[in-house]
Amino acid sequence: MSFPNLPATIADALTEREYTAATDVQAAVLEPEARGRDLVVSAQTGSGKTVAFGLAFTDELLDENGKVPFAVAPKALVIAPTRELALQVSRELGWLYAKAGARVATCVGGMNPSQERKALRSGATIVVGTPGRLRDHLERGALNLSELAVAVLDEADEMLDMGFREELEAILDATPDGRRTLLFSATMPRPIEALARRYQLNSLRIATIGKERGHGDIAYQAVTVSPPEIENAVVNLLRFHEAETAILFCGTRDKVRHLHATLQERGFGVVALSGEHSQQERNQALQALRDKRARVCVATDVAARGIDLPSVSLVVHVEIPRDAETLQHRSGRTGRAGKKGTAVLIVPFSRRRRVESMLRNAKINADWIDAPDRDAIKAKDHERMLAELLKPVEIDEADRAIAQKILAERSAEEIAAMLVQTHRAKMPEPEELTANTPEARKAAQKDNHRPGFEDTVWFKMDIGRREGADVRWILPLICRRGHVTRNEIGAIRIAQGETFFQIPKAHAEKVADAVKRTAENDKDDRPVHIEQSDEAPRDAGRRNRREGGGGHDGPRGGGHAKAKPFRKGGGKPYEKSAGKPAGKPAGKGRPWEGGDAKPGKKHKPKGKFSGKPKGKGGGYPKKGGYPSKD
């Protein structure tokens, strides 16, 4: 074994789990220069980080005999961003320190807090939990950190992204000054650097992530399909790969619910994981996957971190990840601990350019392929069936007697054919897919309309990116001036000096009359002129390029303007010259629902209008602007 200088109790636990060689991150934390020091570790997901930090604090927890001495309070604290990750860490540390006599207490949201307090009082050596629940126990006096020797922040970047900074600081501020602090993170953004400077002393940096962000044990594939055939492509991918365990990632709970029901109806053993499921339901779903009662898991991004199922060999991105980080963490559920895995992105024809850009940013090389068809799946089935049916088996006397009776009634060829039919009947039927041809892609583009927007008219406004145009205030402006709701507005295209938006043809005359009438009441310093357009945005873009102007900027809000707002008075671009928001419209109270503003009600958008995208928390999206409604 290549784990040097470990206590016998820990070495025996690793041997029983068939750990023969340390991974890069495990070897790094055991180096002499890392012992006893604060650490900042960048390690790829699936690289054995949990065992790594478990090995890193053996000196703080164990005596010379490799046992845990008596203590009145926990010696080690591990903080993780999600319940699933905390439970996984707890299981890993449980077997690693079982022979040493350590007790591991887990404190996560969704579990019984009174039972957790009881576990904390009963002499827990290691406490693992999520930030919110740990802070709650700390404030109630159930969590005693006075004897803490080491604190570990696992997936520290994710915890900061999720808004747990305040909880983390409250917990770390309650720990003794002499404790070690270990930060484990897949990425090292500035907030992590700031956290390290505040809570660590003379820390050692360990980076085991290579230059390629893509996982070396994961083969990436991108499958282009017509949008209506995404679910059929999922079925065929599952049938083609026949993975021991597969995880399908969706963007919303509704999509998880729908796809779970669809696959269940088609005969797959499938479970679902999303934010609407209780902790007990999540645990049962994961256990079904471990027990092989289910082979497919449909999940939202809640499962992208913290699920460690060694049998996962296939990850399918049913809906495109929002950014490269999400792509990486979703895909990291496979190809773990040296095993090979496959990550497949299902890409509608119209989204290929966006996915190509995401893959370039993530430095991932993906093979662009067509979805497997019935012939390819049947060929795979043929290979798998032969391998399965020709496996050697042990036959007891009762089975032999039945076999002889069958042979007396049927020929060997008939019996073999019956066996093949029985085996094939267990498999869901593959789906027929439209061939990926230029004609199919063109037809998909034509059919890619929201209901009611098959026949539309373009309107245009005389403001664009130069004037700071942004969909956040353009949408309510259209609603107010055109006397429409957001549901009656189609795609919005923001160009350099003008903005186009779609209105269904049935409502076009009404909108044209409304914008003329409301123009007379527009008291802004720089009134916005709106009129029906004789040309589509693409044609206008070509005209502007010929004339030396800028073309349109892609789907709704396709870029963030760096220009100053066009209104006077220093206010936000959708404000009047007084510099204050005009107010919240009547009805449902949302600015895009239409109606006149109520006096006295202020509508203050989140974040600053700087033209610079923000991350989570209601600000501007990171990249790609706002999604089109068509």
Domains of the chain: 8-207 (3.40.50.300), 218-373 (3.40.50.300), 451-630 (no CATH)
- The answer to whether residues 341 and 312 touch, using CB atoms and an 8 Å cutoff, is yes
**Closest to 59 (Cα-Cα) out of 202, 155, 182:** 182
Report in angstroms the alpha-carbon separations of 486 from 325, 479, 501, 593, 614. 31, 7, 11, 6, 24
What is the predicted pLDDT for the residue at 471? 81
Chain centroid, CA 625 distance in Å: 18
Type and span of the H or E element at 342: strand 341-348
Which token pair is 490?
Answer: 């189609």
Residue 566 banded pLDDT, cuts 50, 70, 90: very low
Which residue would you say has higher pLDDT here, 460 or 575?
Answer: 460
**Closest to 97 (Cα-Cα) out of 5, 184, 6:** 6
Residue 181 CA to residue 41 CA, distance in Å, equals 11
Chain centroid, CA 585 distance in Å: 34
**Closest to 346 (Cα-Cα) out of 235, 447, 261:** 235
pLDDT at 327 over 80: yes
Q: For the chain, how are helix, strand and coil distributed in percent, rounded to 5?
A: 40, 15, 45
Type and span of the H or E element at 236: helix 230-241
Task: Determine phi and psi for 76, rounding to 5 degrees.
Answer: -135, 140
Average pLDDT over residues 214-231: 83
Type and span of the H or E element at 96: helix 83-96
Residue pLDDT, tens place only, 364-416: 899 999 999 988 998 988 888 888 888 888 888 888 888 888 888 888 888 88
Residue 95 corresponds to which amino acid?
W
Which residue would you say has higher pLDDT here, 522 or 182?
Answer: 182
Residue 420 corresponds to which amino acid?
V
pLDDT at 603 over 70: no
Is residue 618 left, alpha or beta, with left meaning phi > 0 and alpha meaning psi from -120 to 50?
left
What is the predicted pLDDT for the residue at 441? 63
Residue 555 CA to residue 489 CA, distance in Å, equals 13
Average pLDDT over residues 171-192: 86
Residue 119 CA to residue 107 CA, distance in Å, equals 9
Which residue would you say has higher pLDDT here, 443 or 412?
Answer: 412
- The answer to whether residues 475 and 591 touch, using CB atoms and an 8 Å cutoff, is yes
Half-sphere exposure of 278 (CA within 13 A, CB side): 6
Which token pair is 16?
Answer: 């029983």
Residue 208 CA to residue 45 CA, distance in Å, equals 11
Residue 440 banded pLDDT, cuts 50, 70, 90: low
Is residue 326 left, alpha or beta, with left meaning phi > 0 and alpha meaning psi from -120 to 50?
alpha
pLDDT at 128 over 70: yes
Residues 6+ apart with CB under 8 A from 589: none
Q: What is the average pLDDT score of the chain?
A: 79
Which residue would you say has higher pLDDT here, 366 or 614?
Answer: 366
- The answer to whether residues 96 and 13 touch, using CB atoms and an 8 Å cutoff, is yes
What are 500's strand-pairing partners? 460, 493
Average pLDDT over residues 343-355: 90
What is the predicted pLDDT for the residue at 338? 65
What are 296's strand-pairing partners? 246, 270
Residue 535 CA to residue 541 CA, distance in Å, equals 10
- The answer to whether residues 584 and 601 touch, using CB atoms and an 8 Å cutoff, is yes
What is the predicted pLDDT for the residue at 276? 82
Chain centroid, CA 493 distance in Å: 28
What is the predicted pLDDT for the residue at 171? 94
pLDDT at 24 over 70: yes
Task: Write a three-state SS string for 382-446.
Answer: HHHHHHHHCCCCCCCHHHHHHHHHHHHHCCHHHHHHHHHHHHHHCCCCCCCCCCCCHHHHHHHHH
- The answer to whether residues 84 and 302 touch, using CB atoms and an 8 Å cutoff, is yes
Type and span of the H or E element at 458: strand 456-461
Residue pLDDT, tens place only, 404-434: 888 888 888 888 888 888 877 777 888 888 7
Residue pLDDT, tens place only, 48-104: 888 999 999 999 999 888 899 888 899 999 999 888 889 889 999 999 999 999 999
- The answer to whether residues 186 and 42 touch, using CB atoms and an 8 Å cutoff, is yes
| 408: exposed, middle or buried (Cβ count in 10 Å: 0-12, 13-18, 19+) | exposed
What is the predicted pLDDT for the residue at 253? 86
What is the predicted pLDDT for the residue at 605? 46
Q: ∠550-553-555 over CA atoms, to 5°?
A: 160
pLDDT at 316 over 90: yes
Average pLDDT over residues 246-261: 91
Residue 610 banded pLDDT, cuts 50, 70, 90: very low
Residue 439 banded pLDDT, cuts 50, 70, 90: low
**Closest to 496 (Cα-Cα) out of 549, 443, 442:** 549
Average pLDDT over residues 245-256: 90
Which token pair is 528?
Answer: 């916005």
Which of 42-46, 265-269, 294-298, 557-561 shows the highest mean pLDDT? 294-298
Give the CA radius of gyration of the chain. Answer: 30
What are 314's strand-pairing partners? 246, 342
Report in angstroms the alpha-carbon separations of 412 from 187, 382, 417. 61, 19, 9
Average pLDDT over residues 283-308: 83
Which of 201-210, 372-381, 552-561 shows the highest mean pLDDT? 372-381
Which token pair is 420?
Answer: 């093949």
The rounded percent of the chain whose pLDDT value lies above 70 is 78
What is the predicted pLDDT for the residue at 445? 58
Q: Which residue in the block uniquely carries the two structure tokens 């005009």? A: 582
Residue 615 banded pLDDT, cuts 50, 70, 90: very low
Q: Specify the range with the lowest mean pLDDT, choosing from 181-185, 352-356, 430-434.
A: 430-434
Residue 523 banded pLDDT, cuts 50, 70, 90: low
Residue 612 banded pLDDT, cuts 50, 70, 90: very low
